[in-house]
Structure 1
Amino acid sequence: MMLQDGPVQLLCLTANSGVPLFTRGSSKPLPFSVIGSLNGVHMFGVGQGVSLLSCDTGGGGKVVWRVFKDSVMLIAVSGGQRSQSSLVKEELYLQRLLDNVWGCMVLVLGQDELVSVRNVERLKRDLRACFSLIDLLLDERQQSIMGNLTHCADSLLPPNPALLQEAMAGFAQAVDSECGCLVIHGRLAAATEKWCHLMPQEVALLLTLMQTLSNSGSSSCDYPVFLPQTSPTVALRLLRFQLLPGADVCVLCGPTPSLHKAESQLLCQFWSPLVDSLRDCLAVGERCLPPSVILRQDVLSLMLINRETHRSVSCVRTLSHQPDPLLPSRARCWELLKLFYIFSITRYFHKEDCLFEEQTLGSSEDFVQGFPHQPLQCYLVTEECKCYGLQTSQHQLFLLLPLSVPAFTLRSVANQTLSQIVTSTGF
C-alpha cells in the first residue's frame, strides 16, 4: 500500500556553527534540543570523515541532511509509519524538497548572500522573503502541481497553441527579452525558445514564484530573481502581468523597459486581440488537455512527461456527482499518481536529473542493477487501483486505472493513451 502520512518539518542552519536560521512546516516546531542533536550528529560524522545523508527513525520517519556550498545546512524531518519500500520513496521526495528549497533561497537572495554570510541576524531577516515560496513547496494541498517533484514544467496544452506562441514571441521581443512564458492556472501554456532552454528546476521554481506573486493579488510586478544554475550571482528582472484571472505572462529582462511602459504601451498591443483564446485556455482547467484529446473512460489519472523538453501534463478524471465508492477520490488520485511516479523512477525508469539521488538511494540502484536491460514498462496493483508506467526515448507515461481493468489490457491502454495525446497535440 502506498502511503505518505505525517507533516514534513524543514530546518535551516549555518553549516559551520549550526546557528538556526529558520524552521518551516509544522505548526509545532521541533524543540531546540532536537534541532541541536540533529546538527550535532551530522557534525560528529563530518569529524570522523563520514558524510551523514539520511537515517530512519524508530517511529517509521525519515531524516535527510544536505549541505549547500559549505555554508547552509538543510534538514528535512518527516514522521509517520512507513514500510521500508515507502522510506525509499520518501527519501527521494525529501531530497528533491531540499534541493528546491535551496533553489528558492538562491532565486530570491542570490548565491553570494548565502555563501558569504557576514551577519547571521541580517540573513535571518532576508530569508523571510523566501517563506511564501518554501511554504508553497511544503503545502501538500498543491495536489495538481507536479513540477517540484518531477523537475519538469507543469504544462497546459491549449486548443490554439500557434496564436499564443506567436503573441508570446512578439511580446518578448517588444520588451527586449528572449525569455518569457504564458502561464495558465500555474501551468506553462506558451514559452519562448530561450525559456525552454532554462534548466528544468529553474523553470519549475519560476512557476512556483509566479504562483505566489499571483496569490498576492497584484496585477503586475517587477521582481529581481537569480537563476540558481544559469545566473546565481547576477540578478535579472522578472516582469509579470495578469492578463485575466488565472492567466499571467512574464518575461526575464534587463534594466529596460520600465514596468509602466511595458504595461501601458505593449501589453494590450499583443494580448488584447487574444482574449477569447485566453478564455479557451482557462476553460481547459486542470484537465490540461484540449477538447481534441478524448481519453478512455477507464483512465482515472495520468501524467505524461516529454523527456526532451522537460515538460509534463497531468490530469485526474472528474468524477460524477455520485462517485463510485470503489474508486479513489480525486485528491487520492493525485496522491497515488505522485507516489507511483516516485515508485517507478526509483526502481525502473531512467532519471536524467538525479545525479545526487543516484548516489544516495543505494537500495533502489541495487534493485535496478538486477536487470540486464533498461526497463521500459512497469505496472503495480494496489488495494485501490492499478498503475502502469511506459517509457520511450521521448516520453514517460504514468497511468492510474480501476481495479476492474484486466491486467493484460494495461499495455494497450497505455499505448493508446500515449498515441492519442501525442497525435492530437504534438506534445
Structure 2
Amino acid sequence: QGCFSLIDALLKPKEGWGLGPPCCPLPPATPRDALQERLQRFAGAAQTDLGCVFWGGGAAVLGTPRWGALPAADSAPLRALLPPPPGGALGAGPAARDVPVFLPNSSPKVPHRLLLLRLVPGVGVALLCGPRPSLQHLLTQLVPQFWGPVLEQLRGCARPCAPPLPPEVLG
C-alpha cells in the first residue's frame, strides 16, 4: 500500500512519470523574476546549478536553466520525488529530506543528493547536489539567508494545486 500513490502518480495520463511538463505555471501574483534570481543565488551558494521551486503536491513551478534542460529520462524520477516533506518535521522551521538518486542518463552509477526543503506549507525548494553542502548547513545558514526574507510573501502566494479530477466530479 505504501507504493500506491507513487504508482498512481507514475501512471497518470499526461502527468505521469516522464510525461508531465517539467514546470507548471506559477500561482498568480508571484514575482517570477525575483523568485528565479533568488533560486539561482540559493543554488549557487549550495554549489549546484540544479534546483527548482515547487508548489502544492510537488509540481515544479520554476527551475534553474540546467534543471529545465535535464533530459526527460533524468527529470522524470526527480518529478516523482518532488512532493514536499511533511510539515512540522523540524518544529517551526522548514522540513527537509536528503534522498540519494541515480539519474539514468547523467549519472547511472554515482548517486546525486536530492535535497527537498519545505519553506512554508505548500511551497518547497529542491536541489540536486553532490556531497556538499550538508543538510544542516542548508537549514541553518542558506535557507534563512536566501528564503527567510520572502517567507511571508511565499506563504501568501501558496495555494494547493488543483486535484487532477474533472470538474463534474469535484461538484
Q: TM-score range by the shorter chain?
A: 0.7 to 0.9
Cα drift, residue 160 of structure 1: 1.6
1:172 is aligned with what amino acid?
Answer: A
Distance in 2, Cα, partners of 1:216 & 1:204: 24
User: What is the CA deviation profile of residues 293-340 of structure 1, one whole-angstrom value per residue up to 9, with x for unaligned ones?
Assistant: xxxxxxxxxxxxxxxxxxxxx9778x6xxxxxxxx3239xxxxxxxxx
Aligned to 1:205: 77
Match of 2:53 among 182, 189, 203: 182
Shift in alpha-carbon separation, 1:138–1:240, aligned structure 2, 3 A: closer
**Structure 1 residues without counterparts, runs of 5 or longer:** 1-24, 26-130, 288-313, 320-327, 332-427
Aligned to 1:138: 7
Aligned to 1:277: 153
SS at match of 1:267: helix
Shift in alpha-carbon separation, 1:191–1:154, aligned structure 2, 3 A: closer
Aligned to 2:161: 286
Q: How does 1:319-330 map to 2 (within 5 A)?
A: 328-330=168-170
Cα drift, residue 205 of structure 1: 2.1
Larger Rg: 1
1:330 is aligned with what amino acid?
Answer: L
Distance in 2, Cα, partners of 1:224 & 1:154: 22
- Paired residue total: 162
Aligned to 2:68: 196
Kindly indicate whether the alpha-carbon contact (under 8 Å) linking 1:147 and 1:153 is maintained by their aligned counterparts in 2. Answer: no
Aligned to 2:117: 241
Q: Does 1:169 align with 2:70?
A: no
Runs (4+) of structure 1 exceeding 6 A deviation are: 142-145, 314-317
Kindly indicate whether the alpha-carbon contact (under 8 Å) linking 2:24 and 2:59 is maintained by their aligned counterparts in 1. Answer: yes
Distance in 2, Cα, partners of 1:172 & 1:144: 32
Aligned to 1:292: none
1:170 is aligned with what amino acid?
Answer: R
Looking at both structures, which has the greater relative contact order when contacts are Cα pairs under 8 Å and sequence separation is at least 6? Answer: 2
Distance in 2, Cα, partners of 1:247 & 1:276: 11
2:106 is aligned with what amino acid?
Answer: T
- Structural RMSD (CA): 3.1
SS at match of 1:139: helix
Taking only the aligned residue pairs, the percentage that are identical comes to 33
TM-score when normalising by structure 2: 0.78
Cα drift, residue 215 of structure 1: 4.7
SS at match of 1:329: helix
**Structure 2 residues without counterparts, runs of 5 or longer:** 90-94
More helix by share: 1
Shift in alpha-carbon separation, 1:274–1:216, aligned structure 2, 3 A: closer
SS at match of 1:181: strand
